[in-house]
Structure 1
Amino acid sequence: MSIFGGGKWRREAEQLVVKPFRLVTTTLLSLLLPLSFLFLSRLSSASFLFSLTKSPPQTESSFFFFSVFFNYTNPAILYAVVSSISVYTLVLGLTTKITATDPSRSIPFLPHVSIAWLTLFLVQISVGLGLEGTNANGLIIGSERNFLSRLVFFFGLHEVMLLWCRVIVRPVVDNTLIGGGDHKREETVVERVALAVSCGTLWWWKLRDEVEALVGVAEAKKALLLLLPIDGNNNVNGSFDVGTLDFVNWWLYYMVVTIGMVRIVKGCLWFGMVLLFEQGTRRNPRGVSTAPPASSLHNDDEGDNKV
């Protein structure tokens, strides 16, 4: 009785404490990826403004802190992680079949838990320090996109966030709460809804305007190069050249847009397949073959031979 009672108590405790805590922790850690895009967009705008002013203003402590962070910290790790997750999401979106099964099973490569721990720790430190020293003042947005293009970017960002959650966040959280070993579990509807709502809220609150700085800086530099006269002052024109980071930011933005387009197309194809399947089921609900029996065909052949 005591053993049964203890097992029942553990199951009840897991239902009341572990599952909600795991849901909240997974959702918050999954938001690190869209926050990485927010930090990279602010980093791009602030670096462009810093190159124009040459010296940070002494009145704004946050901008001064960011200038120190930008000069002495290399965000290459964050770029590498975000680029790898985005490329992996695009490859999976183009190669996997359209099915209604658990998407986690279609991921061919999952890193070791220690690698996931290290990646999650580095991204959390980079995003935390970066957002602490930056703000949305003076963002270079460039030409404003329409709502449709922003919506496509949101679908792509949500797809990248889902892969980040399945590859990095969930193995770390499950290993911490459940323990070592291979504990693969299917995603619940509540988890998917929580991830979608959190990503949508962050996108509507901050990302839908600020993330456009990833391509806005490059567009602003091209516009300034066209407006400025061509002279021998290479120091002024050199700060407006499109550099490697500007190209990487532009590449990341449109890669996420491509992922969103792939997701929309696959969703439309899946919906069309469901409609065709339902129509076929209605026409032949019991799966009975419409072909005539073999015995009748045999009798007909015999009658033809007799004639």
Structure 2
Amino acid sequence: MSMAGGGKWQRETEQLVVKPFRLVTTTLLSLLLPLSFLLLSRLSSASFLFSLIKSPPQTDSSFLFSILRYTNPAILYVAVSAISVYTLVLGLTTKITASDPNSSIPFSPHVTMAWLTLFLVQISVGLGLEGTSSNGLIIRSERNFLSRLVFFCGLNEVMLLWCRVIVRPVVNSTLISGQHGREETVLERVALAVSCGTLWWWKLRDEIEALVGVAETKRALLLLLLANDGNVNVSLDVGTTDFVNWWLYYMVVMIGMVRIVKGSLWFGMILLFEQGSRRNPRGNASATHVSTTSSVHYDAEGDTKV
């Protein structure tokens, strides 16, 4: 009796405490991915503005600060590029199904690797966002509403995969005692979508376009200066970092396009299936009747009685 009472108390505790804490923790840690894009866009804008005024940013002389300053972008570029490429590959190779999205992920890192990746990204984003701010200096690239919508869909898709591959295994291994294969709930998907949309409306929609805005601005200024006097005293060459930022932005746009196309096809398949079932209800009924008759006939031949 005491064992039954203890099990009931444990289930009630999980229902009241563990599940809400798991939802909040998973949502907050999943936001590290869009915050990484925000930090990369701010670093790109700051680097471009400092190159124009020929004044390097003021840095602390400590060795630890220097290491963190130069390794933060490298860690973020590796993590964001890897998860974005993986999302695009899965979007292009997986079939259009309505099954559990976790089952379509063929590769998932070990929990130790997920812990390490999450820790490094969290430290990098925390230190980077603390030392950078927009201050109204945003290098924008004018995009229409459709382009921004496609990028938002792609960013949301990348964040979902980041949550399923990195965040959820870490949270499950900590809170649920090794139950890694827990199914994703509708409430978790809604919470991720709402949090990503809120962050997008608050910060990302104004600053994220610096990923492509810096490269395009450099190219436009370089062409303008060359056309005027041909003497360029400012370094406006599009470097490797600018190209990687441009590449990341348009990869996310491609992911969003794939997601929209596959979602439209999935919705169209559902409509066609429902329309076909409405046009031919007799065929389904006759097929059911034939199968029932054949089973009864088999029972009669085998002299099987219920």
**TM-score (structure 2 length as normaliser):** 0.87
- Please state how far the C-alpha of 1:142 moved relative to its aligned partner: 3.6
Q: Which whole-Å CA distance do the structure 2 matches of 1:82 and 1:197 have between them?
A: 21
Q: Is the 8 A contact 1:31 1:161 kept in 2?
A: yes
Q: Which whole-Å CA distance do the structure 1 matches of 2:127 and 2:196 have between them?
A: 21
Aligned letter for 1:9?
W
> Which residue of structure 2 aligns with residue 185 of structure 1?
182
Q: Is the 8 A contact 1:86 1:255 kept in 2?
A: yes
> Which residue of structure 2 aligns with residue 23 of structure 1?
23
- Please state how far the C-alpha of 1:77 moved relative to its aligned partner: 1.3
Please list the CA deviations of residues 218-259 of structure 1 after superposition, one character each: whole Å capped at 9, or x if unmatched.
Answer: 01100110111477866x24x200000000000000000000
> Which residue of structure 2 aligns with residue 228 of structure 1?
225
> Which residue of structure 1 aligns with residue 137 of structure 2?
139
2:243 is the counterpart of 1:247: yes
Change (3 A) 1:146 1:264: same
2:33 is the counterpart of 1:36: no
Q: Is the 8 A contact 1:66 1:134 kept in 2?
A: no
Q: For this pair of structures, how many residues does the alignment match?
A: 282
- Does the residue aligned with 1:184 lie in a helix, a strand or coil? coil
Q: Which runs of 5 or more structure 2 residues have no equivalent in the other structure?
A: 291-306
Q: Which whole-Å CA distance do the structure 2 matches of 1:66 and 1:85 have between them?
A: 32
Matches within 5 A, 1:255-294: 255-285=251-281, 287-288=284-285
Q: 2:197 aligns with which of 196, 200, 206?
A: 200
> Which residue of structure 1 aligns with residue 295 of structure 2?
none
Please list the CA deviations of residues 250-300 of structure 1 after superposition, one character each: whole Å capped at 9, or x if unmatched.
Answer: 00000000000000000000000000110111122361459xx9xxxxxxx
- Please state how far the C-alpha of 1:37 moved relative to its aligned partner: 0.2
- Does the residue aligned with 1:85 lie in a helix, a strand or coil? helix
Please list the CA deviations of residues 116-169 of structure 1 after superposition, one character each: whole Å capped at 9, or x if unmatched.
Answer: 000000000110011101111253434311111001000000000000000000
Q: Which whole-Å CA distance do the structure 1 matches of 2:107 and 2:231 have between them?
A: 51
Matches within 5 A, 1:295-306: none
Q: Which runs of 5 or more structure 1 residues have no equivalent in the other structure?
A: 57-62, 294-307
Q: Bigger shift: 132-141 or 13-22?
A: 132-141
2:161 is the counterpart of 1:160: no
> Which residue of structure 2 aligns with residue 78 of structure 1?
76
Q: Which whole-Å CA distance do the structure 2 matches of 1:192 and 1:55 have between them?
A: 45
Q: Which whole-Å CA distance do the structure 1 matches of 2:180 and 2:136 have between them?
A: 46
- Does the residue aligned with 1:242 lie in a helix, a strand or coil? coil
Aligned letter for 1:92?
L
> Which residue of structure 1 aligns with residue 298 of structure 2?
none
Change (3 A) 1:136 1:28: same
Q: Is the 8 A contact 1:32 1:127 kept in 2?
A: yes
Q: Which whole-Å CA distance do the structure 2 matches of 1:131 and 1:3 have between them?
A: 49
- Please state how far the C-alpha of 1:70 moved relative to its aligned partner: 9.2
Q: Is the 8 A contact 2:141 2:210 kept in 1?
A: no
Q: Which whole-Å CA distance do the structure 2 matches of 1:70 and 1:153 have between them?
A: 32
Aligned letter for 1:263?
R
Aligned letter for 1:116?
A
Q: 1:215 aligns with which of 194, 212, 217?
A: 212
Q: 1:93 aligns with which of 88, 91, 97?
A: 91
Q: Is the 8 A contact 2:140 2:207 kept in 1?
A: no
Matches within 5 A, 1:7-22: 7-22=7-22
- Please state how far the C-alpha of 1:113 moved relative to its aligned partner: 0.2
Q: Is the 8 A contact 1:66 1:133 kept in 2?
A: no
Structure 1 vs Structure 2: percent identity of aligned residues?
80
Matches within 5 A, 1:49-128: 49-55=49-55, 64=58, 72-74=69-71, 75-128=73-126
Q: Which whole-Å CA distance do the structure 2 matches of 1:40 and 1:149 have between them?
A: 20
